[in-house]
Amino acid sequence: MLFDVLAGFWWFYAVVVATLCIVMFRRILAIRRQHEAATEAPPPVRKPLNPGRSLIVTAGVYVACFWWLIDLAWRANDMVSAAIITATMVALGSSHFFQVRRKTGVAVVRTVAGHLAVVWGIILLILNCRLEAWTACLRGIGPAEMSRLFPLWLLPVLTLALLLWIGLVLVVTGPKHRA
């Protein structure tokens, strides 16, 4: 029962965060598009970050996104998963750093939103593949007992529901096409 309640809580949290992020990125894109359509010059922005600071910001964001998973795998003595997650984090962070460097306006917002979507997708994939094993190890229980306490079907069903919700929010908040 405890695992079901925890899964439900974190699923609800993911729904709220995903909804807020989608709405925020849609609004930023709409404002940028409107401004770019109204004027020839791009909107005034602060001085862009130099490459060193940009690297630090990017590294900080990706460490924040993945550290908890690396720590969870490490505490469950799953060093292979910890190494794979770390390598994935470095690869995604590097890709983000080099793809965003010379972009501005709508292009940078689209790129950042795309990278966040990939990060969330990878986190969901990792959780679907390893969460049950990590939780069993951390709780000191066997796989059979873990399957009884945390049904194998629960996480994939919640993931599917989350993805369907995200799709619905994307459709509802999408740009309105006028005929």
Which pLDDT tens digit goes with each residue over 61-100?
999 999 999 999 999 999 999 999 999 999 999 999 998 8
Each domain of the chain, given as residue ranges in start order, spans: 2-173
pLDDT in tens, 114-161: 899 999 999 999 998 998 889 888 889 888 888 888 888 888 999 999
What pLDDT sits at residue 175?
Answer: 74
* Rounded-to-10 torsion of CA 126, 101, 30, 177: -80
- Average pLDDT score over residue span 30-34: 78
- Gap between the Cα atoms of 166 and 22, Å rounded: 8
Q: Give 44's pLDDT tier (boundaries 50, 70, 90).
A: low
Would you state the pLDDT for residue 94? 95
Q: What pLDDT is attached to residue 67?
A: 96
**SS3 state at 99:** helix
Give the pLDDT score at 41.
59
**Which DSSP symbol is given to 41?**
S
pTM flag (> 0.95): no
Q: pLDDT over 70 for what percent of the chain?
A: 91
C-alpha–C-alpha distance, residues 37 and 27, integer Å:
15
178 token code pair: 């006028």
Is the pLDDT at 59 greater than 60? The verdict is yes
